[in-house]
Amino acid sequence: MSTEKEFNALCWVNQTTFPEDLEKGLISLGSPPDLAQEISFAYKSSTDRNIMRFYEEHAYATGNAEWQKHLSRFITNRMAQYLLDQNQDAK
């Protein structure tokens, strides 16, 4: 089984997730706007721009099930979009 595409997707998500995109993306995936704004503000206020580290520190480690739900949906959706785009480019 090949996993490098998935790791590349995760790297791409880490490198291309910005606070403004995070808020818009969360809302487009059905997150309540106030929660999307709260998450985005926390991400903007964090010291680094690594969405997985942010997820780990602000959702996973704290046991915040609501943030886990919405952030994981956002991250996996972005990874899926990357993989879809890569597959289309390979054709």
pLDDT digits 0-9 by tens, 20-67: 899 999 999 999 999 999 999 999 999 878 999 999 999 999 999 999
Say yes or no to pLDDT of 89 above 80: no
**Confidence bin at 18 (pLDDT 50/70/90):** very high
Q: Which helix (H) or strand (E) holds 31?
A: none
Q: What is the pLDDT of residue 68?
A: 97
pTM of the model: 0.90
DSSP conformational letter for 18: -
How far apart, in whole angstroms, are the C-alpha atoms of residue 29 and residue 19?
15
Question: By residue range, what is the domain housing residue 78?
Answer: 4-90
Q: What is the pLDDT of residue 1?
A: 43
How far apart, in whole angstroms, are the C-alpha atoms of residue 12 and residue 5?
10
Q: What is the pLDDT of residue 2?
A: 64
Structural domain tally of the chain? 1
Measure the CA dihedral 3/29/15/89, to 10°: 60
Half-sphere exposure of 82 (CA within 13 A, CB side): 20
Q: What is the pLDDT of residue 62?
A: 94
How far apart, in whole angstroms, are the C-alpha atoms of residue 84 and residue 63?
31
Half-sphere exposure of 46 (CA within 13 A, CB side): 20
